[in-house]
Amino acid sequence: MRISADENIPLLTSFFSEFGPIRQFTGRSVNRDDLLETDVLLVRSVTRVDENLLAGTPVKFVGTATIGTDHIDLEYLKRAGIGFASAPGCNAQAVVDYVLSALSVLVDARDQRFADLVVGIVGVGNVGACLRRRLEEMGVKVLAVDPFKTEAEVGELTTLDEVLTADVVTLHTPLTTEGDHPTWHLINAERLAQMKPDACLINTCRGPVVDNQALKSHLAALSEFEAILDVWENEPELDLELMQRCLIATPHIAGYSLDGKMNGTEIIYRAVCEFLGLPIRRKLGQFLPEPGVKRVNFTDQVPVHQALRTAIRAAYEVRVDDGMMRTAMRRASSRKAAFDQLRRDYPLRRDIPTMRVGVPAKCQDLHDVLAAAGFDVRTK
C-alpha cells in the first residue's frame, strides 16, 4: 500500500509506516503527477481533492485529518468509488479553548465578566455543543441556532435573528453553498446590521461564512463593533486592512493544539485500518506526551472571575498568536508564505483539560467554574 501524505500531519511514520512507504508533500502544491503511484492519500484542509487531482491515479482511499470537508469533492469520490474519511470532532476542544481565550480578552478589554455576556452560537455540532456546555456551566447565557439539529439533541434552539441580538456571535458551521441553509456569506451586510453596534463577531469556522468586505466596512463604520477572526476569505492571501481592524487576528490555528492534530491522525489511521480490513494496532496514548509542567495554583485571595481568566490564558493565550501574525504580516515580503509558515511552525499547545489547576478546598465556587471551563481541578 503506497501512501502520500501532507507533511503537516503529525505522527505519520508512527501510525502509517506499517502499511508501506510514505511520501510526504506540501499541501498546497501537490498535483496529479505526484499521485501516480499512490493508493492512500492523506490530506489537510489546504489540498483541494477532486477529479482534477485524482482522475487517472490509483488512489483508492482519501483521509483528511480535519473536521472540515469543504476542500473535498465528496460527490466525485463517491462516483469514482474512492473511500473517504474525515476526522469529526478531532480538534473541537482546541477551538473551544480558542473561543474561551478570545472571550477572556474581550471581557478584559471591556472590564466585564464572562457572566455579563450573552453568547450566540451558530452551528451546534461538535464545537458548538462543547462550547455551549462549557459556557452555560460557567454561568454565561447562550442563544443557539442550528437548522439541522433538534432541541432533543442539543438543547434549546432559536432563530438566527434572535442569535444575532447577542453580545457575542460565534460561528461554528461547515462551509456550504447548497441546500436550504447554505453558509457561504451567511453573515453579510444585512446580518451585521442586525447585530448590536458594540457586539463582537468571532469566526473560527471557514472564512467565506462571513462576507469579509462587508465586515471590513462594518468595522470601519462602527468603532465599538469588534471582530475576532481565525479564518479568512482567500486564505492564505488575507486582507491586511481587515486584519488591522480586528481585535484578534490569527492564521487559521484555532484547532491547532497538539491533542487536536494528533487526534486527527489517529481518527484517519483507524479509518484506513477499517478500509483495508486490518486490525487497529496503534493508539494515540502511545505517542501523546504528558502535559509537562503547566500547572496553576490559586489561593483563596483571588476573585473567581479573575482566576478563571488567568487559568484560561495560562493554558492558551490567543494574544500571542495574534501578535505573531501581525508581526509576520508587517515584515513579510510574501504574506501568503508568511501565513503558511506561521501554521507550519506553530508552537506546541495543549488542550485545557490537560492542565491541572489547584484550588483551596474551601473555594467551591472557584472549583466549579474552573471545572466548567474544562480544567483538571484538584483541591489542596
Ligand X SMILES: O=C(O)C(=O)[C@H](O)COP(=O)(O)O
- Which one of ligand NAI, ligand X, none is in contact with 8 (Cβ closer than 5 to 8 A by kind)? ligand X
Residue 235 known to be catalytic: yes
Q: Rounded CA gap, 201 and 117, in Å?
A: 13
The reply to whether 269 sits in an annotated binding site is no
Q: 45 or 250, CB closer to ligand X?
A: 45
Of the residues 255, 262, 268, 311, which one makes contact with ligand X according to CB under 6 A: 255
123 binds ligand X (CB under 6 A): no
Write the CB contacts of 129 (distance below 8 Å, at least 6 apart in sequence).
Answer: 154
Minimum distance, C-beta of residue 153 to ligand X, in the bound complex (Å): 21
Q: Among all chains, which residue has been given the C-alpha cell 498546497?
A: 28
- Which one of ligand NAI, ligand X, none is in contact with 46 (Cβ closer than 5 to 8 A by kind)? ligand X
68 binds ligand X (CB under 6 A): yes
Write the CB contacts of 166 (distance below 8 Å, at least 6 apart in sequence).
Answer: 118, 119, 120, 143, 196, 199
Minimum distance, C-beta of residue 255 to ligand NAI, in the bound complex (Å): 3
Residue 185 known to be catalytic: no
Residue 334 burial by Cβ neighbours in a 10 Å radius (0-12, 13-18, 19+)? exposed
Write the CB contacts of 85 (distance below 8 Å, at least 6 apart in sequence).
Answer: 61, 62, 63, 64, 267, 268, 271, 272, 275
- Which one of ligand X, ligand NAI, none is in contact with 63 (Cβ closer than 5 to 8 A by kind)? none
Write the CB contacts of 107 (distance below 8 Å, at least 6 apart in sequence).
Answer: 113, 114, 116, 117, 309
Q: 91 or 354, CB closer to ligand NAI?
A: 91
Residues that bind ligand NAI (CB under 6 A): 67-68, 88-89, 91-92, 95, 122-128, 145-149, 172-174, 176, 181, 183, 186, 204-206, 230-231, 252, 254-255
Contact map string, positions 24 to 53, toward ligand X, x by CB under 6 A: --------------------xxx-------
The reply to whether 316 sits in an annotated binding site is no
Q: Using alpha carbons, select from 363, 370, 256 the residue that is nearest to residue 314.
A: 370
**Partners of residue 3 on adjacent β-strands:** 22, 40
Residue 50, CA distances (Å) to 31, 37, 62, 71 in order:
11, 17, 11, 8
Q: 57 or 66, CB closer to ligand NAI?
A: 66
Residue 343 known to be catalytic: no
Q: 46 or 105, CB closer to ligand X?
A: 46
The reply to whether 66 sits in an annotated binding site is yes
Q: What nine digits make up the cell of 359? A: 484550588
Minimum distance, C-beta of residue 38 to ligand NAI, in the bound complex (Å): 25
Which range of residues in 50-58, 64-72, 77-85, 354-362 is near ligand X by CB under 6 A? 64-72
- Secondary structure of 242-292 in HEC code, one letter for each residue: HHHHCCEECCCCCCCCHHHHHHHHHHHHHHHHHHHCCCCCCCHHHCCCCCC
Given the residues 113, 132, 134, 206, select the one marked as catalytic. Answer: 206
354 binds ligand X (CB under 6 A): no
Opening angle at CA 225, ends 141 and 339, nearest 5: 100
The reply to whether 346 sits in an annotated binding site is no
**Partners of residue 118 on adjacent β-strands:** 141
Q: 131 or 359, CB closer to ligand X?
A: 131
Residue 62 has phi, psi (to 5 degrees) of -125, 130
Q: 3 or 254, CB closer to ligand NAI?
A: 254
Minimum distance, C-beta of residue 44 to ligand X, in the bound complex (Å): 3
The reply to whether 230 sits in an annotated binding site is yes
Q: What nine digits make up the cell of 301? A: 485571595
Binding residues for substrate: 45, 66, 256
Binding residues: 45, 66, 146, 173, 230, 255-256
State the residues that interact with ligand X by CB under 6 A. Answer: 8, 44-46, 66-68, 91, 252, 255
Catalytic positions, written as ranges: 206, 235, 252
